[in-house]
Amino acid sequence: MAAGGGAGAIGARTPRLASDCDLEGLDLSPAEGFLLSRIDGHTPQALLRQVGGLPPDEVDRCIERWAESGLLVFVSSGPPARSGEGDSGFGEASASAARAPVAIDPQLEISAEAQQAALAMDAGLERPYHEILGVEPDADVRTIKRAYFGLSKEFHPDRYFRRDIGPYADVVERVFRRIVEAYELLSDPATRAEVQRDLAAAAQAPPEPQPEPPLETPAEEPAAEISRPRKRRTGPRPFSPLTRAFAQRRAKAKSFFEAGMAAYAEGRWLEAAGSVRLAIAFDPRNAVYKSRFVDVRQKVADVRFEQLTKEADSAMTFRDRGDALKLYEEALHYKPFDPQVNHTAARLAWLVADDPRRAKEYAVRACEVEPEQPEYRKTLGMIYKAAGLKANARRELQCALRLNPKDDEARAELKSL
Amino acid sequence: MSRVIGIDLGTTNSCVTVIENGQPTVIPNAGGYRTTPSMFAISHDGKRLVGHLAKRQAITNSRNTVYASKRLIGRRFDSAEVQKAIDLCPFEIVRGANDDPRIKIAGKTFTCPEIAGIILREMKRVAEEYIGEPVSEAVITVPAYFNDTQRQSTKDAGKIAGLEVLRIINEPTAAAMAYGATNRSEEKIAIYDLGGGTFDISVLDMSDGVIEVLATAGNTFLGGEDFDRRIVMHLLERFQEEESIDLRTDPMALQRLKDAAEKAKCDLSSRESTEVSLPFISSDDSGPRHLQLELDRGTLESLVDDLVQGTVKTVEACVQDAGLTPGDVDRVILVGGQTRMPLIQKTAGEFFGKGPHKGVNPDEVVAIGAAMQAEALVSDDKDLLLLDVTPLSLGIATAGGHFAKLIERNTTVPVRKTHIFTTTRDNQTAVKIRVLQGESDVAADNDLLGEFVLSGIRPAPQGGPEIDVCFDIDANGIVSVSATDLSTGKEQSITVNATGTLSQDEIQKIIEEHELYEVELKA
């Protein structure tokens, strides 16, 4: 995106509605209402300047004013940027599922700015293709290609090759796929004509599930109204601009939720989680979305757990075991109580990372879950021994021997104590 | 951070490059050569020889000297290409446990990835000696038209050599990267790459360090070796005419002829005629016989004209695939030693209506590009970006032996595509998903990458169940395929580990074996 421009710092910040904001007393023009509807806590101000339907300086002024009046706050670039918002629904850091709540995380090897840019693109993937590429609807092929190349430099997964970018790996890849799709459709005259027809049709006849005009249309029309604000008062106003904005957001949330449930029914858990998360982002108060999200997240966790352990297993055979440990530990995020993985992680933390304290925690947990497993007991005993905790070591090794009297290694370890 | 290298693993020669202070450096081997023959031999006294050492003794030890094994890697033993090679190669090719071709020399059988691994290990060693520290990561190039199995096998070879393969990239693409790193203007370029064993053509669009592959095509069984072979056949015939002696059954004479043919071919790139002189090539009752012949450029060109014209057809198709006409291409870059031949420069020049670009060394540019991609991946300076494509269409076999393409060739990766399939019989409870790669509409004519069964489909009339098949290719080109029964949510998936390649266990075993061997050498 041609983000930032001159006022880079302002452009990079991302406003969201304050949770306690009072919308009742406001008097906004439809154009301002439209801008307000674009503010979702994902889209940075630079992007809002482009998609807010108002001239850029007007956008800046509105945001400034609303921020002063307490209507908006800015998403901090510190860690759990969104924890205040979705409360019980999706803010917990403990089980951050793969495609689920993505927050700005300065620990990752992707700059906070790039994280915001990625989230902003990700939130806008349903926009018309030319908007995704940031070009005019009638841009020529050369301009389209340039935009595509520019965005590729920013969002191609190779940019983050081997970097630890956590959940952004999925975000970036998803964004890149969509950019490619946009480019492919718009750079071929045949498909482009089709896209333009669809766009024109959508502008004329709003699709069924959305009783309000589709989100893309108001762009030019309100701009005209701004210049003559007096006239507006004479006509009837079926919706206050904000009610309309929120109705639109709820409709959008509903369509995301439905897409999510469809994906869920088909077993595409990651997609389901992403869609439901978006639904919650657009309609944070809906309890149904939140409760279903718990299910979906569990499925995603299962899938991630399986993937990670599989990767870890192959790392064990191939690459260094430090990698394997990292992968097992990541897997434990998703299923903290899997005894086998805890046991393996314990052995690796002890033998490879030389970190007996960490090893002990994993081993203890494995033993808690399956107290009758002699291998786990033995490992724990040996870790205690390595840490110099002889009494504990003796207890565990004795226990291991009781469970499996034939274990000579445990016997030898016990003897050497 | 340890250094990353780029390796052009060629059919006849290999080349290794590292980036030093932002500049690519081609690393010479101990003999001072900037490329190393992709040859491996076991000498009479049981020593393992690689590179120039192997080449030097090839004449006297042709049955135990392996060359051009890249032509066999990742192929099936029964394929026409392997059968052709069996007829032509002096070393023995046998059927392996996975129906893969294996090479038997000095009583020991090697898989093709193993041979490639030995050559890669040599290149790694060359780099390590030059840099002075261990190297563990590399980008390796393959012909653009290599299928998934051939790519996987090359990756396996890297593992066997003790290298982590950051990425496998196409040779012409690598050449384009080397060019694009220094030429940042907006251009469309064509890379005509005729190496020792393969021919590739790629059309790319580049601007300011971003390189997009528009289309790519090629022939994995056409290269400089075929030119040599034509010359050898010519020499054989001439000798038989004059001396009535058939040298075809004499491996040593054949090897000498091959060397002489290659030399004559190179001479004729700069001269109009050359002499082929092989004293004592044979003997009969009347004493020793010598081969002494004059060969001129015109004769050579008439011998290989159909090969060159064959490449033009491929180039034509590729340019069309890219949605361009020859005139749209701003620059033509020739890559591979064989493109030094004047006939090829002329032919390419005529096709595109402009003379080829002179600024690159055709033997080294691929390795340079590989190192640049390696550097671009691991460094923080993200100035070069390759938008790569799938070289071949991917899909599944459907009823009646048809091939349903899900991802068309030349699609930018990463990509994901899904399609819904259904059953063909009433109460069918399982479907077999056969993952294929290729361009033919007939399933059997394409390469089988892998297969799996989705069972537990709820009994229903034919055409009732909906099975969602999803293809996914990630940025590393790894293909995974999943099939989901939409009514039950049941899912089966594979990451394509192509049939015919080595299993992880086998690779591990080979690595260990070679480690043992390394110990042996030092002792």
B171 as an active site residue: the answer is: yes
With the C-alpha atoms ordered B231, B236, B241, B242, is the resulting torsion angle positive or negative?
positive
Output b/e per residue, B253-286; b: 16+ Cβ within 10 A: bbbbbbbbbbebbbbbbeeeebebebeebbeeee
Would you call B325 an interface residue with chain A, using a CB distance cutoff of 8 Å? no
Nearest to B486 among A176, A188, A266 (CB): A266
Would you call A317 and B508 a contact, using CB atoms and an 8 Å cutoff?
A: yes
Domain locations in chain B as residue ranges: 4-183+360-386+506-522, 224-301, 394-489
Distance CA B328, CA B37 (A): 37
Strand partners, B273: B296
A87: pLDDT strictly greater than 60? no
Cβ distance of A146 and B412 shorter than 8 Å: no
Active site residue B70: yes
Contact B414 A176 (CB under 8 A): yes
User: What is the percent of chain B where pLDDT is above 70?
Assistant: 97
Which of B152-156, B339-343, B482-486 has the least mean pLDDT?
A: B482-486
pLDDT value, residue A23: 65
Is residue A303 over pLDDT 70? yes
Q: What is the pLDDT of residue B1?
A: 60
Superfamily of domain B394-489: Substrate Binding Domain Of DNAk; Chain A, domain 1 (2.60.34.10)
What pLDDT does residue A336 have? 85
Contact B484 A159 (CB under 8 A): no
User: Considering only A194-208, B233-247, B331-345, which range has the smallest mean pLDDT?
Assistant: A194-208
Residue-wise pLDDT tens digits, B50-98 = 999 999 888 889 899 999 999 999 999 999 889 988 988 889 999 998 8
pLDDT of residue B105: 95
pLDDT band at residue A197 using 50, 70 and 90 as cut-offs: confident
pLDDT at residue A242 is higher than 60: no
Active site residue B375: no
Which is it for the CA torsion A329, A333, A336, A339, positive or negative?
negative
Average pLDDT, integer, range B315-329: 94
Q: Residue A76 has which token pair? A: 């901090």
Task: Say yes or no: ipTM exceeds 0.90.
Answer: no
CA angle B178, B180, B183 (to 5 degrees): 115
The superfamily in CATH containing domain B224-301 is ATPase, substrate binding domain, subdomain 4 (3.90.640.10)
Compute the Cα dihedral for A167, A169, A175, A181 and give only its sign.
negative
Rounded alpha-carbon distances, angstroms, from residue B123 to A229, B7, B9, B120, B234? 74, 7, 9, 5, 35
Backbone angles phi, psi at B190, to 5 degrees: -115, 135
pLDDT at A243: 53
Q: Looking at residue A237, what is its pLDDT?
A: 37
User: Does the pLDDT of residue B147 top 80, yes or no?
Assistant: yes
Nearest CA in chain B to A318: B508
Q: Do B4-183+360-386+506-522 and B394-489 agree at the fold level?
A: no
Interface contact flag, A173 B468, Cβ < 8 Å: no
- The fold of the B4-183+360-386+506-522 domain, in CATH, is Nucleotidyltransferase; domain 5 (3.30.420)
Distance in angstroms (rounded) separating the CA atoms of residues B391 and B439:
10
Q: What is the mean pLDDT of residues B462-485?
A: 84
The domains found in chain A, sorted by start residue, are 8-229 (1.10.287.110), 302-415 (1.25.40.10)
Q: Write out pLDDT tens, residues B378-388.
A: 988 778 999 98
Rounded mean pLDDT, B241-250:
88
| Contacts B382 to A, Cβ<8 Å | 153, 159
**Chain A interface, best mutation among B385, B388, B506, by max A CB count within 10 A:** B385
Band of the pLDDT at A245, cuts 50, 70, 90? low
Query: What element of type H or E holds B120?
Result: helix B112-131
CA B144 to chain centre: 7
Q: What is the pLDDT of residue A78?
A: 36
Question: What are the residues whose beta carbons fall under 8 Å from the beta carbon of A234, sequence distance 6 or more?
Answer: none
In eight-state DSSP terms, residue A280 is H
Query: Please, what is the Cα angle at A97 between A131 and B453, to 5 degrees?
Result: 90
Mutate to test the interface with A, among B412, B457, B469 (most CBs of A within 10 A): B412
User: Do the beta carbons of residue A72 and residue A39 sit within 8 Å?
Assistant: yes
Does the annotation mark B193 as catalytic?
Answer: yes
Query: What is the rounded (10 degree) CA torsion for A62, A68, A72, A76?
Result: 110
Local confidence band at B123 (pLDDT 50, 70, 90 cut-offs): very high
Q: Per-residue pLDDT tens for B250-279?
A: 878 888 898 899 999 999 999 999 999 998
Answer yes or no: do B414 and A152 touch at CB < 8 A.
Answer: no
pLDDT tops 70 at residue A6: no
- Mean predicted lDDT score pLDDT of chain A: 75
Q: Is the pLDDT of residue A27 over 80?
A: no
Nearest to A158 among B159, B205, B385 (CB): B385
Residue A320 pLDDT > 90: no
